[in-house]
Chains A and B, each alone.
Chain A
């Protein structure tokens, strides 16, 4: 059942998700031991290829790999030939020659980890590609929710914020829906795409979204760095209209809702300071769970296994399936 790569949530079967969540539970039990390391990946090498800045995801993968006894190499993009104009493809060829077992990749371009995966024998784990997918974030989110709701079917998660630029929203909503969770999006009309799947409720009004009665409020970081144009007038206005203000926190506390956030948090934008001390905030749980989930993923994948190797770097040709008639 193991795969070579983990590129997205969309292609994961329910059984695979359940297996990974079960494994994550087992790995988490290790954390209470004095020796947290096991030899599962002894002799294996993990290359961290982060084209975008990251603290949490990067260190979480590094800790996970080391706890499985793998060797970790950090490919420092800032000091690599990439700054001399080397293309991603050339980098891949170099990395392939190094015969690494795992490549954990983050890149600003959607679909790029898939391109790498088709060209290497290493197991490729997508650690975030553009606004496409962030599968391990989705798994750790689901794992965190499942700790609070062992049977999450029928529960409701409201994801608030910049859906347009968010790979977390896409992956997490897909995974939660596969587990039977209802998902809704809330955000400014300029940041919640008109064409989200019909199965996801779309709100632009906070009160209407809360009337939907969510069990979990999942706040997304406002990613100012991705916004090449202005999507809303000001951060102050964003906080007032879509953020968790002190007044809104009082209501959330009274209703007993959980709050999640993939981090890093923009205080005073997505949420007021008090949220960080809210007893039902799961933000630190998410960070902790990230390690066990990533251990489960690394342990599950099989580098160098049989896989369909494409001749070209581009996406698979569908030569055998002629186009359908208009």
Chain B
């Protein structure tokens, strides 16, 4: 039994935080009110000034297992999630072997059951081994609960293959998530084509490489009557393309944006800092501004981190040799608070809607709220405390993040899931 006193309660429906006591009994929210009586045996937590909100859900993470356990495991990845206030994730299938069959999916889910303290879901590949040629074993994966199909990390190159997959799998109630990139245009370099690519002497990846596939895949989904989810959009015109398609209303499109694409530009790469190397690449301030606009407006349904761990050894190479990707689970909520909520760019309601409720709706999962009768699935967040992202603080096996050793305002103090207090600081 847990009584949180004087918490400021956030919800997706109101920018106003409502102060109150919250009593959690046997993993469920039993009472909300002011000056609740302290039941016998209850643990009392003074939550004055702190924000209590539904826990986050990240619909785009790479836990690297099987095959790359030196970068991350289901255990370390899910602990990083808890560390950042996240109580559910969707893994991407670019593991080795790729998650393209019921057997592979079953292994991951079985592992997750024993190795994670939070629910871990996984997407499945569109094509076998993500090669873009033959369709993966779609129905077998569906039987195990897979809802999202994606060749994430790569675009399904042949539009005819993707169209057929959409026509086929939509019948099973599945949807498609697209990593949008024309490889022939983008190249392997993960640096935006612009002033920085000239200065650093690296051939850049133009934003149109991403925008073409955003448009292509939405058109394919429209033709197939499928639901398409556009992953980690990085460019202004990409956002506007999605906005336009959504405004037409004749195709089901959802989209996500990652915190790093809202926060950083290619200028941050500076002297070849590989902690800023990711795909799609960081673009310009105008792109960041447009993405923020798209998030506030609702062009982006959800925030997802694209948590992409790599070992220090791999990231410590030169910029061209180092792999793409940064971790995000440990840092996302605090950085969103520090850079957006605290300065008033958007409210807690947007964070809850886009990083807790909508990702769960996308996956067809129940949406937690701080309401009587609901299962406790929440985060207590101190807005005045600070978090320093030291290597020791990070629970991810890898620490390839631009936030390393930075101190930001805000701290995840508690994460509660059902009867378990998963984290307490």
The one of B199, B285, B315 in contact with A326, judged by C-beta atoms closer than 8 angstroms, is: B285
Chain A residues within an 8 Å CB radius of B315: 314
Stretch of A104-112, A262-270, A278-286 at the chain-chain interface: A104-112
Residue with the highest number of chain B CB atoms closer than 10 Å, among A10, A130, A170, A315? A315
Residue numbers in B under 8 Å from A4 (CB-CB): none
Closest chain B residue, CB of each to CB of A315: B273
CA distance A315 to B274 in the complex (A): 7
The residues of A that contact B198 with a CB separation of less than 8 Å are 170, 193, 195-197
Per DSSP, are chain A's interface residues mostly helix, strand or loop, or mixed?
loop
**Cα–Cα distance between A325 and B197 once the two chains are bound (Å):** 22
Which partner residue on chain A sits nearest B195 by CB separation? A195
Chain A residues lying within 8 Å of B195, measured Cβ to Cβ, are 195, 197
Interface check A307, CB cutoff 8 A: no
For the complex, is B318 an interface residue (Cβ under 8 Å from A)?
A: yes
- Indicate with 1 or 0, residue by residue over A59-102, a CB within 8 angstroms of chain B CB atoms: 00000000000000000000000000001110000000000000
A131 close to B (CB within 8 Å): yes
Q: Does A129 contact B (CB under 8 A)?
A: yes
One of A207-215, A290-298, A316-324 contacting the partner = A316-324
Give the chain B neighbours of A326 by CB distance below 8 A. 262-263, 285, 288-289, 292, 339
The answer to whether A111 and B271 touch across the interface, beta carbons within 8 angstroms, is yes
Question: Of B275, B322, B343, which contacts A325 at CB under 8 A?
Answer: B343
Give how many B residues have a beta carbon under 8 Å from the other chain's beta carbons: 44
CB closest chain-A residue, reference B269: A315
Known pairs A131-B201, A326-B285; A111 contacts B319 (CB<8 A)? yes
Across the two chains, which residue of chain B brings its CB closest to A109?
Answer: B320
Nearest-neighbour CB distance to chain B for A6, whole angstroms, equals: 15
If A88-B317, A313-B317 touch, whether A195 touches B193 (CB-CB below 8 Å) is: yes
The reply on A114 being an interface residue by CB < 8 A is yes
**Cβ of A132 and Cβ of B201 under 8 Å apart?**
yes
Q: Which residues of B contact A314 (CB under 8 A)?
A: 272-275, 315-317, 322
Q: Which residue of chain B lies nearest to A229 when distances are taken between CB atoms in the complex? A: B184
Nearest neighbor of B264 in chain A, beta-carbon distance: A323
Q: Is A12 an interface residue (CB 8 A)?
A: no
- Tell me which of B270, B317, B404, B405 contacts A87 (CB under 8 A): B317
Partner pick for B203 among A10, A164, A316, A322, CB 8 A cutoff: A164
Interface members, chain B 311-357 (any A CB < 8 Å)? 312-313, 315-322, 339, 343
Binary flags per residue of B190-214, CB closer than 8 Å to A gives 1, else 0: 0001110111111110000000000
> Known contacts A131-B202, A323-B268: does B408 contact A89 (CB below 8 Å)?
no
A171 (CB) vs chain B CBs: closest residue: B201
CB <8 Å contact, B272 and A319: no
Contact in complex: A312, B318 (CB < 8 Å) = no
Among B194, B202, B289, chain A packs the most CB atoms within 10 A around the CB of: B202
Q: Contacting A322 at CB < 8 Å: which of B313, B318, B408? A: B408
Cross-chain contact of A111 among B262, B272, B292, B405 (Cβ < 8 A): B272
A184 at the interface (CB under 8 A from B): no
- Residues in B with CB closer than 8 Å to A129 are 201
Interface flags for B135-156 (1: CB within 8 Å of A; 0: not) read 0000000000000000000000
The residues of B that contact A197 with a CB separation of less than 8 Å are: 195, 198
- Cβ–Cβ < 8 Å partners of A229 in chain B: 184
* A132 / chain B contacts, CB cutoff of 8 Å: 200-202
Q: Could you give, for residues 242-261 of chain A, a 1 whenever the CB lies within 8 Å of some chain B CB and a 0 otherwise? A: 00000000000000000000
Would B201 and A316 count as touching, CB distance under 8 A? no
Chain A 116-145 against B: per-residue CB contact (8 Å), 1 yes, 0 no? 000000000000011111000000000000
- Within residues 274 to 296 of chain B, which ones have a CB less than 8 A from any CB in chain A? 274-275, 285, 288-289, 292
B201 & A167 in contact (Cβ 8 Å cutoff): yes
**Separation of A96 and B194 alpha carbons in the complex (Å):** 36
A272 at the interface (CB under 8 A from B): no
Complex Cα gap A316–B276 (Å): 12
A115 at the interface (CB under 8 A from B): yes
> A170 to B201, Cβ gap below 8 A?
yes
Whether, in the assembled complex, B406 has its beta carbon less than 8 Å from a beta carbon of chain A, the answer is: yes
Contact, CB under 8 Å: A115 / B318: yes
What residues on A are CB-neighbors of B200 within 8 Å? 110-111, 132
User: In the complex the two chains form, is A130's CB within 8 Å of B288's CB?
Assistant: no
Q: Which residue of B lies closest to A110 (CB)?
A: B201
Question: B203, B262, B312: which has the most chain A beta carbons within 10 Å?
Answer: B203
Residue B54 CB within 8 A of the other chain: no
> For residue B132, which residues in chain A have a CB less than 8 angstroms away from its CB?
none
Instruction: State which of B184, B312, B407 has its C-beta within 8 Å of the C-beta of A312.
Output: B312
8 contacts between A and B (CB under 8 A): A109-B319, A110-B200, A111-B318, A114-B272, A131-B202, A316-B271, A317-B404, A317-B405
Beyond A110-B272, A111-B200: 16 further Cβ-contacts under 8 Å?
A87-B317, A89-B317, A109-B320, A110-B201, A111-B201, A111-B318, A170-B198, A193-B193, A195-B198, A312-B316, A315-B271, A315-B274, A315-B319, A319-B404, A319-B405, A322-B408
**Which 4 residue pairs of A and B lie closest in terms of their CB atoms, listed nearest first?**
A132-B201, A111-B272, A319-B405, A131-B201
